[in-house]
Amino acid sequence: METDILDAHTFWMQKAIRQAENAFEKEEVPIGAVIVCNDKIIGKGHNQTELLTDATAHAEILAISAANQYLAAKYLEDCTMYVTVEPCVMCMGAIKNSRIKKVIVGTKEPKSGFSKFVSPDFYTKIEVDFGQQEEQCAQLMRDFFKDKR
């Protein structure tokens, strides 16, 4: 199994980065997410707010909905989310609502990330780790916004 070759976090974050690249190719803000359960991706998503004309169509929301469908379950207690950029307030709320217990984040988003606005009391039961393949995740964002200016 491929996960043996690389560190597992690196392996899964690469899958999230691939999602972000999908978004980039469609001229969407390049953010991607995968949800992993028992060493398997059960939901994935990339930002599609423009393509779907939907302010709620962030990578994390789409990944959670997909995982809910895959498991036929509303709660994702034993799952880990890998997401290339720090979730916004909406997405952190969705992570809590879906009872995901662990979130591995690529790069921080100081302007609109949840940690600027949401009280830590809200996510005491969620382990959030920042900085997984940070440079690659951040570079995709920089490249995207450079092209837009």
CA 81, CA 104: separation in Å to the nearest integer?
Answer: 6
In contact, 39 and 82? CB cutoff 8 Å: no
β pairing state of 32-36 and 80-85: antiparallel
- Least Å distance, CB 4 to a copy of itself, is 32
- Least Å distance, CB 11 to a copy of itself, is 26
CA 48, CA 28: separation in Å to the nearest integer?
Answer: 6
CA 136, CA 1: separation in Å to the nearest integer?
Answer: 24
Residue number, 9 or 102, with CB nearest to a copy of itself: 102
Pull the structure tokens for residue 144: 């995207």
Give the Cα-Cα-Cα angle 109, 40, 13 (nearest 5 degrees): 25
Residue number, 32 or 133, with CB nearest to a copy of itself: 32
Dihedral sign computed on CA atoms, order 112, 117, 122, 126: positive
Residue number, 56 or 139, with CB nearest to a copy of itself: 56
- Least Å distance, CB 47 to a copy of itself, is 11
- Least Å distance, CB 141 to a copy of itself, is 17
List 2, 25, 60, 127, catalytic entry = 60
Residue number, 8 or 90, with CB nearest to a copy of itself: 90
60 given a catalytic annotation: yes
For a copy of itself, the binding residues (CB under 8 A) are: 49-50, 53-58, 61, 64-65, 68-69, 72-76, 88-94, 96-99, 116-119, 121-122
List the catalytic residues: 60
